[in-house]
Amino acid sequence: LFLVAGAVVPELPEVETVRRGLAPAMVGCLVERAVLHRKDYCVRSAGGPCRPRDLLEGAVVRAVERHGKQLAFIAEDGRVLVAHLGMSGQLRALAPGVEPPRSTHVHAVWMLDGGGRVIFRDPRRFGGLWVLKGEAELRERWSRLGPDGLEITGEQLRERAGQSLRAIKAVLLDQSVVAGVGNIYADEALFLSRIHPLRAARSLRAEEYDSLAAAIRRTLLAAIAAKGSTLRDYRDASGEPGDAQAGHAVYGRAGEPCYGCHGKLKGMRVAQRATVWCPRCQPRTRRRARGS
C-alpha cells in the first residue's frame, strides 16, 4: 500500500481517502516506535511535552476514525491521537520493506510491527497532532463540530445557520455548522444548488437548505470516489496525483465558461476566501416565478 494525499487542499474527501488507506495498514498493529521530529507540531491537551507514548508508542491501534477534516487514532488501551492535515498535510502508509522517500518537512513517523510505517509530512505546518486524555475527550471535541458533511441534512443546516445574517458561503466554511466543507466544496455545492455565495443565511428557504445539503453530500461523495480511483492509479507512484481539478465545476475556474449556461464564471472574495460563482445560475435574489 502506498497512499498519498494529493496536491489539493485536504478537505473531507481527501481526509476520508487517507483514512481508508491508513486503517487497513494500522488497525490491529502494535506501534513499536513513534518519533516526533518537531515537538511544536504536537500538543497535549493535558499540557507538557509530547512523548513517544503520547503518539501511541507501545499501543495497539484499535481504530482510525474521521469527523469532518479530523482524523483520530484510537488505541486499544484508550489512548487517542488526533491528526489534522491543515493545508498541506500528507499521511502516508508505507508497506513493509518500502523505503521511505527522501523528503523534507516530515514531522512524525510511526513504525509498526510487521515492518510497515506511517509518515506525517506537512510543509506549511497548518496541520498538527493533538494528544487527548481519552475517548471521552474525543467525543466532546467532535460534538463541538457540526454534523459530518457526508451526512448533513437540510434541517440540520438550517437549524445551525438559519438565523444568521452571514453570507451562506462563510457559514458553510464554519466547522461548527457542518464539518469537513472547505473552500473548494463550498463553492461547488453552492453552484450545484444554484445559490449565490453572498446570500444571507437567514434568507434561504427550507427547500434551498435541503438542496444545499444534498449538494454538499453529493459533491463530497463524488470527490471521494474520484480520489479512490486516483489512488488506485498510484500503485506505481510514478506520475502526478491525477487531475484532481478536472472534476470541479467552478473552483479555480473564474473567467471560464459555466458548464450550465456557458456564461462567464465570476470571481470575488467572500470571508477572505477566493470564491467563484456563476452570476446567471446563482442569482443574488430569487427569480420571481414566471407567469403566476
Partner DNA sequence: ATCAGAGCCTGCCAGC
Partner DNA sequence: TGCTGGCAGGCTCTGA
Kindly give the pairing relationship between strand 42-44 and strand 128-132. Answer: parallel
Which candidate in 10, 13, 147, 197 is catalytic?
Answer: 10
- Does the active-site annotation cover 147? no
Which candidate in 69, 92, 158, 194 is catalytic?
Answer: 69
| Residue nearer to DNA on the CB measure, 2 or 126 | 126
277 phi/psi in degrees, rounded to 5 = -150, 165
Q: Would you count residue 104 as binding DNA (CB under 7 A)? A: yes
How far apart are alpha carbons 121 and 217 in whole angstroms? Answer: 28
What string of H, E and C letters represents the secondary structure of 120-161?
Answer: EECCCCCCEEEEECCHHHHHHHHHCCCCECCCCCHHHHHHHH
- Does the active-site annotation cover 207? no
| Residue nearer to DNA on the CB measure, 25 or 64 | 64
**Range 173-232, binding DNA (CB under 7 A):** 173, 175, 182-184
What Cα–Cα distance (Å) separates residue 102 from each residue in 93, 99, 106, 110, 143?
15, 9, 10, 16, 38
For the bound state, the minimum distance from the C-beta of residue 172 to DNA, rounded and expressed in Å, comes to 10
Residue with cell 444571507: 200
Q: Would you count residue 69 as binding DNA (CB under 7 A)? A: yes
What Cα–Cα distance (Å) separates residue 239 from each residue in 3, 215, 252?
13, 31, 22
**C-alpha cell belonging to residue 47:** 499540557
Of positions 129, 170, 172, 281, contacts DNA by CB under 7 A: 170
Q: Would you count residue 51 as binding DNA (CB under 7 A)? A: no
Q: Would you count residue 143 as binding DNA (CB under 7 A)? A: no
Q: Would you count residue 125 as binding DNA (CB under 7 A)? A: yes
Kindly give the pairing relationship between strand 90-94 and strand 80-84. Answer: unpaired
Which candidate in 19, 20, 44, 273 is catalytic?
Answer: 273
- What DSSP element (H or E) covers 9? none
Residue with cell 469532518: 68
- Does the active-site annotation cover 33? no
- Does the active-site annotation cover 279? no
Which candidate in 11, 14, 188, 208 is catalytic?
Answer: 11
| Residue nearer to DNA on the CB measure, 62 or 69 | 69
**Range 253-282, binding DNA (CB under 7 A):** 271-274
Active site residues: 10-11, 69, 273
Positions touching DNA (CB under 7 A) are: 9, 11, 68-70, 84, 86-88, 104-105, 123-126, 164-167, 170, 173, 175, 182-184, 271-274
